Structure 1
Amino acid sequence: MTSLTAFVVVVALVAVERLAELVVSKRNAAWSLERGGRETGRGHYPVMVVLHSGFLVAMLIEAWARRPEVGTALAWSMLGVVVAAQALRWWCIATLGRRWNTRVIVVPGLPPVRSGPYRLLTHPNYVAVVLEGIALPLVHGCWITALVFTLANAVLLTVRIRVENDALASLAHPDGRLADA
């Protein structure tokens, strides 16, 4: 198996993992909405979908077009980071349980989660996203994709984290008002 073929397999496995996430997310979003959950931040969600889908496609195009020479140490170390990022992502999903989804939906009356990776970091899932955004393309030396995605994702995360923080702050008020409103 060539290194390009192996890379395509790795990216395909990540894509399958993303589809599994979407199944879990859809089920969990329905659960939250049935319990009075309120969604915020709808405006940036389509941008996030396009960015993350484009990320998977872009690195494959770059790998095919550039055919970079990839050192074994770089490939294996970056694959290790990708695996660690996936583990962190699924630790976040398991910790949040039914409350995890890819949208920003909070259920009034449920306190913020402060266990698992959330006892260590406010937004651990985004640490996983950032790590993966850098490491996955570098498994096959796709530094252009890693750079462009990382910069675009940084802009998106400034919006996303602000929306999430505002939504979580609203949990402090039974009437759903934001903490600073």
Structure 2
Amino acid sequence: MIFLFIITIVCLQRIVELVIARRNEKWMRKQGAVEAGAEHYPLIVALHICFFISLAVEVVMMERSLSPWWPLLLTLFLFAQAGRVWSLFSLGRFWNTKIIILPGAKVVKRGPYRWIRHPNYVIVAAEILVLPLLFQAYYTALVFSVLNAIVLSIRIPTEEKALMKATDYNEIFRKG
């Protein structure tokens, strides 16, 4: 029952985020923004869909229960959710699930972006690890943590290259 509640809340959160991302994308494209890395975006979508399917299958089919460490894991997951919201609000209209770059834009360096270049990716990696561990879904935690690392090894360099080419990214992050 608790699994169904949490997974439903997380899936609803992701749907809201997709609505926000589409709205932001429309606004940015009207301003002249362009997409980078479109060829790998389907991998990200597939990874996240398969993650939720795998998590549900492992928890239900293998009759996984709440971890004995659930207070710690739930706390970590809730901190990750707070970080996700903080990242999203810090980027404002520039936040997206795609790599949408507005040429000439000033790079956001507020909120968690003051300390980490890609806080949302750190948060997603934490969620992909912690959420399955919360329900003792060890296979899902391991497999999707590895797959996510592979996808991010493609996505982050693509995003940084696009930002370097079209914005003040180099100048901002060279200053520290």
TM-score, length-scaled by structure 1: 0.89
Aligned-partner SS, 1:105: strand
**1-side partners of 2:36 and 2:59: how far apart?**
37
Provide the identity percentage. Answer: 38
What residue number does 1:125 align with? Answer: 120
Residue in structure 2 matched with residue 18 of structure 1 by the alignment:
14
1:63 aligns with: 59
Scaled by the length of structure 2, what TM-score is found?
Answer: 0.92
Q: Does 1:36 align with 2:32?
A: yes
Measured after TM superposition, the shift of residue 125 of structure 1 is: 0.2
Question: How far off is 1:46 after superposition?
Answer: 0.7
How many Å apart are 1:108 and its aligned residue? 1.1
User: Structure 1 stretches (4+) deviating beyond 2 angstroms?
Assistant: 68-72
Distance 1:98 1:71, change over 3 A: closer
Offset at residue 69 of structure 1 (A): 4.6
- Is 1:98 the equivalent of 2:98? no
Q: What is the correspondence of 1:140-151 to structure 2 with a 5 Å cutoff?
A: 140-151=135-146
RMSD, aligned α-carbons: 1.2
Gaps of 5+ in 2: 169-176
Structure 1 unaligned spans of 5+ = 174-181
Quote how far apart the aligned CAs of 1:172 are.
4.1
Q: Secondary structure in 2 aligned to 1:122?
A: coil
Q: Say if 2:76 is the partner of 1:81.
A: yes
